Structure formats: C-alpha cells, structure tokens
Amino acid sequence: MESLDEGRVRGLLNACGYHDPDIAVIKRFYRSCADVESTKIDAAPLLSVDGLLTFLSGIGIVIDPVDIATKVRFLRAFDRDGDEFVDIFDALVGLCVLDPTADTPSDLWTQCRLEMIFRFYDLDGDGALSWNDFEGLVKDMVVSCGVELKEQDLTDVARNIAARFPSTEVLSQNQFVQAVMHGVLESTGMNLDRLFRTAKDFRLEIKKSPLKSTYQTWQEFFLIL
C-alpha cells in the first residue's frame, strides 16, 4: 500500500474531476459524520463503521437493511491501513474508486481501486484471498461484464482465471494488484472496470450541498455487489 499525503490525494481527486469546491463540501460533510477522535496529534477525527455508513448515505449509498458482515466489508474496503477506522484520506480515495465516471485517470487510481476491491472480497480480513474469496470476486466480475452463465460454468470460469494468477491457493494483495495491472485478465474477455463502481454519478449529490440521501438501498446504487 502506497503512502498517500494530502498532495497526492488532491491530485487523485483532480484527476477524477473533483475540484476545490467539491472537495470542500466532502470534507465538511466528513467532519459532520466523524464519530471517533484520532489518537494522532492534530489529526482529523475518524469514522467508525456507523460513521462511514452515515457518510455514504449522504452521497446516496444507503446500506440498509444491512447485516454486520456487510458493514464490516464496507469498512474494510475503505480502511487502507487496517486500523478499523476510516480517515479523511481513506474516504476521499474511496470516493474516487467508486466514481462511475472516472476512466483510469492514473496508475495510482488503478492501484487504489484494485486494493479496495481486494479488501472488499477478503471476507475474513486476513490479507489474502482464499479460493472462496476469489471465486466470489470472479463471479461478480463476470456478472458485472454482462455475461450470463450457469453456476457451474461460473465456477469453471473462476478456476480458469485463477490459474493465471501467481497462486491458486491464497493470493496476497500485492500479487493480486500486480497481476491485474500487468494484464492477467487480458484475453479472458473479462475485466474489473464495472465491479465495485456506483451505478449513478454521486458527484451530482455532492453539488447539492447540503448532502442528503436519494437512494433506497446500497444494492440499488451499485452495479453489482
């Protein structure tokens, strides 16, 4: 995981089409949702899992109804350093990754996006994708690409794609990210372009300050989850 300072995060936001007024709105709303004080000196407060859900609902991603496992998956996906909280950089990077209008603006964006996908599908949070984790990721990827297959065929596709990666037993985050960035999915007819992306442009919500929810469920907002 690359270290991201404010300058790099701002560059990422700018590359995705977010400008200073948008960023200011997001930061204000983040602070209104933050519900945990940081232990770091002069650091902004943090989001717990409930604070994250409040933050997401403000841009239209309402995770309701939801079970605790789904809450944890979203928290883990946003939480880049694994401290079980979401800081302001985590939140801003997450929005860039989810944005349906961003079109591979940089290698950094691609890396952050792949890391977030990895964390979401790493169901037990052990830093590795087991076969079951990987199979779930591939099945969702296939559906997100608009391909309709029977369950057994989906499993076969998952095994064929898994064989292209460095390991078919457990896959580390670095192995997953590097393999995808180096074209492991090319020639498979599949890609991750539409996986873990919102179906609608939530920047329209951000421009409607103050932020408020307009969607009913997270399943409605996402293309495939």
Shared domain for 84 and 23, answered yes or no, is yes
Residue 217 has pLDDT above 50, yes or no: no
Based on the fold, state whether residues 33 and 70 are members of the same structural domain. yes
Q: Which two tokens stand for residue 189?
A: 């007819």
Put residue 8 in one of left, alpha, beta given phi > 0 → left and psi -120 to 50 → alpha: alpha
Do both 204 and 96 map to the same domain? yes
Select from 124, 110, 89 the least CA-distant residue to 197: 110
**Residue 125's domain spans which residues?**
107-181
- In angstroms, the CA 42 to CA 40 distance is 6
Q: What single-letter DSSP state applies at residue 45?
A: P
Residues 61 and 116 in one domain: no
- For residue 46, being part of any structural domain is answered with yes
Asked if residue 116 and residue 87 are part of one domain, the reply reads no
Instruction: Summarize the confidence of residues 56-67 as an average pLDDT.
Output: 71
Model pLDDT for residues 76-133, shown as the tens digit of each residue: 999 999 999 999 999 999 988 888 777 777 888 999 999 999 999 999 999 999 999 9
Residues 43 and 88 in one domain: yes
pTM: 0.86
